[in-house]
């Protein structure tokens, strides 16, 4: 009896430790997911905005430790702004958003069709007559993930990579476009326009803006690939597990 209690205590402690590390990992991912895009934008702006447009602040006179702390907090907040802008862009694009296009492509795969049939059958066995016809691909994916909880970490990893690539791509695109526009406006020989240009211009900065603009399309390819895996993987796992269970019987 004592041995059983000890085993249960050890098992409970292990579960608590696992739960703690899972929560800690999610917290770190949340920090990185917003902190890095925000700091990326801050670093870009500190490099390309003309000095006369800098906000005069006592921040630069602060202790380095305090300054680093403020930089981290600002990066995290700006990361949420970057995320929100990207989300609004996708909502505005509607069915033309990258997510909708990829989900439509996933819905045409055989793995998705087989997995959906299995889920409808499983729901019917539970007494539900829901045929999932009105459910979105993401809704069905979330249900499918319930049959393979051990794969959650892998799926969330690909989703994180997709969103991170999307945030960096959006920042690069916006900054690159504004920089390119400033470079062209700089060619207009009007003093009032010249003094209104916020970004630095010139050969090396024009090259930087061009690279930022180009990197958007490279990062977009990575974003789409990772998102496609994150959406489609649960269906592949569900079909594989279902076939294996049938073979076992």
> Where in the chain are the domains?
2-248
Q: Which pLDDT belongs to residue 13?
A: 46
- Signed CA dihedral, 131, 158, 103, 78: sign only: positive
Per mean pLDDT, which range of 62-76, 161-175, 213-227 is the poorest?
Answer: 62-76
Stretch 96-120: mean pLDDT? 91
pLDDT band at 201 (very low <50, low <70, confident <90, very high): confident
Q: What is the DSSP string of 54-92?
A: S---GGGGS-HHHHHHHHHHHHHHHHHHHHHHHHHHHHH
pTM for this prediction: 0.81
Q: HSE-up of 200 (CA within 13 Å, CB side)?
A: 16
Q: Which pLDDT belongs to residue 230?
A: 93
């Amino acid at each position: 009896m004592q041995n059983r209690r000890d085993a249960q205590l050890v098992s409970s402690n292990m579960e608590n430790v696992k739960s703690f590390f899972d929560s800690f990992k999610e917290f770190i991912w949340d920090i990185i997911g917003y902190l890095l895009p925000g700091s990326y934008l801050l670093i870009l702006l500190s490099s390309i905005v003309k000095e006369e447009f800098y906000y005069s602040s006592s921040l630069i006179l602060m202790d380095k430790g305090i300054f680093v702390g403020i930089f981290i907090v600002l990066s995290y907040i700006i990361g949420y702004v970057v995320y929100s802008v990207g989300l609004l862009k996708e909502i505005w694009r509607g069915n033309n958003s990258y997510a909708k296009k990829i989900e439509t492509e996933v819905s045409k795969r055989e793995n998705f069709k087989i997995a959906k049939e299995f889920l409808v059958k499983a729901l019917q066995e539970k007494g539900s007559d829901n045929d999932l016809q009105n459910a979105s691909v993401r809704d069905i994916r979330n249900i499918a993930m319930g049959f393979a909880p051990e794969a959650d970490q892998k799926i969330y990893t690909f989703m994180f990579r997709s969103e991170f690539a999307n945030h960096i791509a959006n920042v690069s695109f916006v900054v690159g476009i504004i920089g390119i526009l400033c470079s062209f406006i700089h060619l207009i020989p009007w003093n009032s326009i010249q003094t209104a240009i916020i970004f630095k211009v010139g050969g090396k900065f024009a090259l930087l803006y061009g690279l930022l603009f180009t990197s958007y399309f490279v990062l977009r390819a990575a974003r789409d690939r990772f998102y496609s895996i994150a959406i489609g993987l649960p269906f592949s796992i569900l079909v594989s597990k279902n076939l294996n269970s049938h073979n076992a019987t």
